[in-house]
Structure formats: structure tokens, C-alpha cells
Amino acid sequence: MKNGHDILNIEVFSANGVNNNLSRFEHPEFIDIINSGKLKHIYLVEKIYRPPLLAPYPDWVPSGSFLPALCALSYFADKINIFGWDNHMNCSPRNMSYWELLLNFYSYKTDTRIRKCKTQFEHALINFYYAYQFSKLPNINIYGYMGQLAKHEKFIKKIERVLFN
């Protein structure tokens, strides 16, 4: 803002109305920027999948921060180019079998680094499914491993059944 750049704030709410992003802005300077009235806001409600049937489960969707931002921007942008979305994969899914892709849903190295093991598998399911769907849209270009899932259409259909049935 002080350098003349426009800022877009995307606030994500879970389906039950609990804001799951505001807690990330614990520093007063972020809260001051958000409340300053000098930036544009997009508010969205994450209704990515039905919550699990058995408690306990989190009241937020394990989608990460990128996917909700992409969903929000997809309604406004004429074209979106995405670089670096790889979901912790270190090789192309074009070269993977079904089982190799499934085994890439969990990364011990990533898990020990960022400690999100409770939702890493669900995060992968959601991101792989939506990356595949976004990669089929004409105005979205995914330059990275998540844009190379076309070979695994049957696998994506299985993910769809897990998420929505």
C-alpha cells in the first residue's frame, strides 16, 4: 500500500460460518491493514466437501491457502497462470502409475517439516481433485505438476466419489 501497490484480501469462511483465516493474522500490523479500508476484499465460503460423519473433525477444510484464493480469483480474472503448484510432488504425475500417484499423497519429509499430518492426505485429495478440474478450464493454465493430472482421470473420479458421495 505505501509503495502504491493494490492489495486484495481473500477471507475464507468454513461452511458453518466460522472464519478460518483471520487467526493467521495475529500481528497487529496485519489487522490494521485489513481494517484500514485501503484494500479490496473477497469473502468466500468453503463448501468443498461434506464434513466427515464421525467427530472429532476440524471445522475448517484442509485445502490450504492457495485453492480458496484460486477459486475466488477464477470468478474475476480473464486468465490465470499458475506457477509452482506441485503439492509437494518431486516428479511429474504423467510419469507415475496409479499407485505411485497415491503414494505421493503423503510426504514424510514434508510432514516432518510443516507438521500437518492430521490433514495432509485430505489436503492432497482436495488439491488433486480441484487441480484436475481447473486444468480443464480454458482460462486457467497450471505450469507445474498439478497441471499434469490428465492421465489419471479414473483416479480423479475415485477422489470425486470420496469427496462427494
Asked if pLDDT for residue 156 goes beyond 70, the answer is: yes
Residue 139: pLDDT band by 50, 70, 90 thresholds?
A: very high
Percent of the chain having pLDDT more than 90?
Answer: 28
Range of the domain at 131: 8-164
80 found inside a domain: yes
3 found inside a domain: no
Residue tagged 481494517 (cell numbers): 35
Phi-psi region of 37 (alpha: psi -120 to 50; beta: other; left: phi over 0): left
Tell me, yes or no, if the pTM score tops 0.75. Answer: no
Q: Tell me the C-alpha to C-alpha distance, in Å, between residue 24 and each of 39, 41, 72, 83.
A: 18, 16, 18, 24
Rounded to 5°, the CA angle 14-131-114 comes to: 65
25-39, 45-59, 101-115, 143-157: range with highest mean pLDDT: 143-157
1 found inside a domain: no
Query: What residues contact 89, with CB distance under 8 A and at least 6 apart?
Result: 104, 145, 146
Domains held by the chain: number: 1
2 found inside a domain: no
Q: Kindly report the average pLDDT of the chain as a whole number.
A: 77
153 found inside a domain: yes
